[in-house]
Amino acid sequence: MVAMAGFVLCLQCTNKGAPVAEEPWNVQAVENARAQIGLEIDTIEASGQLLNPVTLTPEGKVYYCGYADWRSGFFPGSVWYLYELTGDTILLPLAEKYTEALDEAKHLTWHHDIGFIINCSYGNGLRLAKKEAYKDVMIQAAKSLCTRFHAKPGVIQSWNVTGNSWQAQRGWECPVIIDNMMNLELLFEATKLSGDSTYYKIAVSHADRTMQEHFRPDGSCYHVIDYSIADGTVRHRQTAQGYADESAWSRGQAWAIYGYAMCYRETGDRRYLDQALKTFRFMQHHPHMPADLIPYWDMDAPKIPDEPRDVSSASVIASALYEISTFDVPDAASYKAYADSMMQSLASPAYTAPLGENGRFILMHSVGSIPHHSEIDVPLNYADYYYLEALKRKQDIEKK
């Protein structure tokens, strides 16, 4: 795509002679993101295919996913946020094209991450492009997600446990992971779009039961709670991606902070905000929290400080904190200040990749799942997505 390449080249030339050090760090961060994602868009458009970048393979090549992958909504969502951050109209038809390539995902019923897939892509698209057809996709996706709801435990099942899958080998019956809190936003949106309160009620049921079962007294959360479908009792409290069942897997804590802040926004139920704040304070005051505020992949990992960091956790927490700073909370400005500190670290050369490197992802040093020996110290598209969302939330706050 010549126009996109020309933009990147122009930006690079402008930056060479411009006093970029005088620009605020977040302005530089947006300019860098526009250039880096512009290079990835060039690659996609030159291929003639609808490629969807996720991460790097062990061989250093970009891994592209299909629509059913739980991460498929993040790159289209990143393009939407970049369009919103920059006002660059070149990005609008691209965001629409990459989003609409995910249309079939609205019928997925075999995993819970349809919320990530559809809300990050179509949800942002509906907000920014106002396409009526996007409403139907959102509502159908919510219907598909609700097929995974079990009335007795009152939760949406995360993973299937059929066949010889690793989930089945764990002996689980109805595993629910803290990540699932993020998918509830799709249900809240579906009620607003359709007028059908069913989606809202299922989201609240899941949030309530998760708050009851997932959290420890110190505010930290388990990764996996396994329920009995028959009577709703808890069968196991374990982890899948953390160091140990009782450890604090950092991205799990991030999902909890963000998820309950979002639930408070959608319901006004103060209990949800209190939970988000309690989990944040656990992370904030954790003795292993590094000085630059970028968490280790698990705050109880045994080789700290020689354990990998997880930039994706920091991006999610920062985005949540910007939103929390807009709520009626004591010392609201402190949450924005903490988010600013995290984001300044992320925007620094320690975590932001040089232009054209890192598979053309913005951020370096994320972790997928160390127990599965998967995606260790690599870029991840959802780290970039929540980083851009955080930049947009900061921008919105500071315009007021």
- How far is Cα of residue 31 from the mean position of the Cα atoms in its chain? 21
Q: Exactly one of 69, 113, 298, 300 is catalytic; which is it?
A: 113
Q: Are strands 53-56 and 62-64 parallel, antiparallel or unpaired?
A: antiparallel
The answer to whether the CB of 318 falls within 8 A of the CB of 335 is no
DSSP string, 161-195: --TT-HHHHTT-SEEEEGGGGGGHHHHHHHHHHH-
Whether the CB-CB separation of 77 and 385 falls below 8 Å is answered with yes
Which of left, alpha, beta for 225 (phi over 0: left; psi -120 to 50: alpha)? beta
28 neighbors 347 (Cβ within 8 angstroms): yes
Annotation marks residue 231 as catalytic:
no
Give the integer Cα–Cα distance in Å for 206 and 267: 13
For residues 83 and 383, what is the distance between their CA atoms, to the nearest angstrom?
Answer: 18
Residue 69 appears among annotated catalytic residues: no
Encoded tokens for 138: 């959102």
Task: Assess contact for 26 and 347: CB atoms under 8 A.
Answer: yes
User: What is the rounded distance in angstroms from the CA atom of residue 260 to the CA atom of residue 281?
Assistant: 14
DSSP state of 363: B
Catalytic position from the list 69, 179, 300, 310 = 179
Tally of CB atoms within 10 A around 132? 7
In the block, which residue shows the tokens 């942002």? Answer: 124
Nearest alpha-carbon partner for 252 in 175, 304, 182: 182
Phi, psi of 54 (to 5 degrees): -120, -50
Q: Quick check: 161 and 172 in contact, CB under 8 A?
A: yes
For residue 154, what are the contacts with CB-CB under 8 A and spacing of at least 6? 205, 206, 208, 209, 232
Residues identified as active-site: 113, 179
